[in-house]
Structure 1
Amino acid sequence: MNLLFDFTADKATKTIRITREFAADLDLVWDAFTKPEILSQWTAPKPYRAYIKEMDFREGGRCLTAMISPENVYHWSLAEYIKIEPKSSFSSRNSFCDENGKNLNNASSLTTTSFKAGGETTTVYVEKIFDDLSVLEMMVTKGFKEGTAAGFANLDEYLLSLVTSK
């Protein structure tokens, strides 16, 4: 199955928009984005791995995550959940941080992740609106598109393993 992946960066609005289809039902895809035991399995592009130090998926909660390099270097990020509409969307304020969640550069993005069920697929829409254009530019030039695509490919593998294990 050829699954849609669209990635656009709009410097004028300081926004990255991602659309990605997954060959799974809405419940499975929603869980993959909102349950730490699943999220940690797919979100890091190989050869990195993800470590979720804490995740409290509720409005006012947060998720403190590290991407760990093959050399064991930790790159921390924080998502602070603003609004959650179960199995529909969630929004968060995202930033690079230290291991305690303290913002490192006062730059962040407002991220909205939305889910739409289809026949045999679920489509995920991600919109990241950056406070600072230089952060968007850094993300684009440092491989954010490629890392996102690789993480989503990991999620494809995870979802396929659920289907084949039934």
Structure 2
Amino acid sequence: MTTDLLFEFTVDKAAKKVFVTREFDADLSLVWDAFTKAEILDQWTAPKPFVAKTKAQDFKVGGRRFYAMVSPEGQERWALQRYTSISPKTNFKMFNVFADKDENPELPGSDWDYTFIEKDGITKVNITIYNESLERMERLIEMGFTEGFKASLKNLENLLATLVRQS
């Protein structure tokens, strides 16, 4: 197992963007599935002690994922993701926005662009997150987005290691 995997996390306030580059010691198909299948997403996307629960997902252009981050006390924070572009096992894009329990969006949101590249069994994921407003981006960072997203990606690294060992 490779332990010196690339992990870069950069915030560019002037461009209202967050750039994340993360390598995983797993093949492209498994990493792609981890980012696109609800049953796997729910196992890693919430930073502990929160858990994720997907209410609906249709991974296709025009489709959506509607899910909640659930606190240990049972409080739910819902989010809606609409898929805008999909190039299988290479790239997908989505619009992400908080929502209420009835899927009513709380605008503004953010555009996410994921690119996947595999080399020698290591899959690199490049993520660019563009926020419609600097205020929203700063509020998310203040709420702990940076730490939470890093923790979620660590969850994914651990989950992938388990799945690779099982295969």
The answer as to 2:16 corresponding to 1:32 is no
AA aligned opposite 1:74: E
- Secondary structure of the residue that 1:8 maps to in structure 2? strand
The answer as to 2:32 corresponding to 1:16 is no
1:108-134, CA deviations, whole angstroms, 9 ceiling, x for partnerless residues?
111101111111310111111111100
4+ aligned runs moved over 6 Å, structure 1: none
1:100 CA displacement = 2.1
Take 1:4 and 1:143, find their aligned partners in 2: how far apart are those partners? 22
- Secondary structure of the residue that 2:160 maps to in structure 1? helix
AA aligned opposite 1:163: V
Aligned residues: CA RMSD: 0.9
1:163 CA displacement = 2.0
Matching residue of 1:133 = 134
Unaligned runs of 5+ in 1: none
AA aligned opposite 1:132: S
Matching residue of 1:69 = 71
1:36 CA displacement = 0.7
Take 1:15 and 1:45, find their aligned partners in 2: how far apart are those partners? 21
**TM-score (normalised: structure 1):** 0.96
- Secondary structure of the residue that 1:37 maps to in structure 2? helix
1:31-62, CA deviations, whole angstroms, 9 ceiling, x for partnerless residues?
00011111111110100000000000000000
- Equivalenced residues, count: 165
Matching residue of 1:54 = 56
1:151 CA displacement = 0.8
The answer as to 2:102 corresponding to 1:109 is no
Take 2:113 and 2:62, find their aligned partners in 1: how far apart are those partners? 15
AA aligned opposite 2:55: K
The answer as to 2:131 corresponding to 1:118 is no
Candidates 52, 77, 82, aligned match of 1:80: 82
AA aligned opposite 1:126: I
Moved more, 111-120 or 43-52: 111-120
* Pairing of 1:141-160 with structure 2 (within 5 A): 141-160=142-161
1:158 CA displacement = 1.2
AA aligned opposite 1:93: F
Take 2:124 and 2:145, find their aligned partners in 1: how far apart are those partners? 20
